[in-house]
Structure 1
């Protein structure tokens, strides 16, 4: 199961997170847009972007490339 990036449409911080993930050379991930999803909005609404590992651990914004690497265990 891949990493998941929870984000919103038209989210400047989400765009920054995508750049950080590219800089960190993060493995493939699934983008999940929380807009209009009541359960996801309740959980992630003020926290996005959030990177989630398959084991359930989550990394909230703000994060940088070294932080992503540590989170991924690299």
Structure 2
């Protein structure tokens, strides 16, 4: 399973979200692909106000939805 994580440097919310993902990775193995929104204009335009933004197959979680429960539920759905 692949988890795409849209982030940027110097983002405390992104750091927290990544810590949650790494904690859950032990129970739900996945490949984490981090994408810095400042390396791609399309990502910057689309996700600038939504980061941290997590995509797990068809499930997407924006900055207001990312928490331990929502991440675990999305991972369970896609195992």
Query: Could you say which TM-score interval applies, normalised by the shorter chain?
Result: 0.7 to 0.9
CA RMSD of aligned residues (A): 1.9
Structure 1 moving runs of 4+ over 4 Å: none
Q: Aligned-pair distance for 1:29?
A: 1.1
Q: Normalised by the size of structure 1, how large is the TM-score?
A: 0.81
For structure 1, which runs of at least 5 residues remain unmatched after alignment? Answer: none
Answer 1 or 2: which has greater helix percent: 2
Deviations 1:27-68 (A, max 9, x none): 22100001142111110000001111233x311123222211
Q: Normalised by the size of structure 2, how large is the TM-score?
A: 0.77
For structure 2, which runs of at least 5 residues remain unmatched after alignment? Answer: none
- Name the residue aligned to 2:12: 12
Matched residues, number:
73
- Name the residue aligned to 1:58: 60
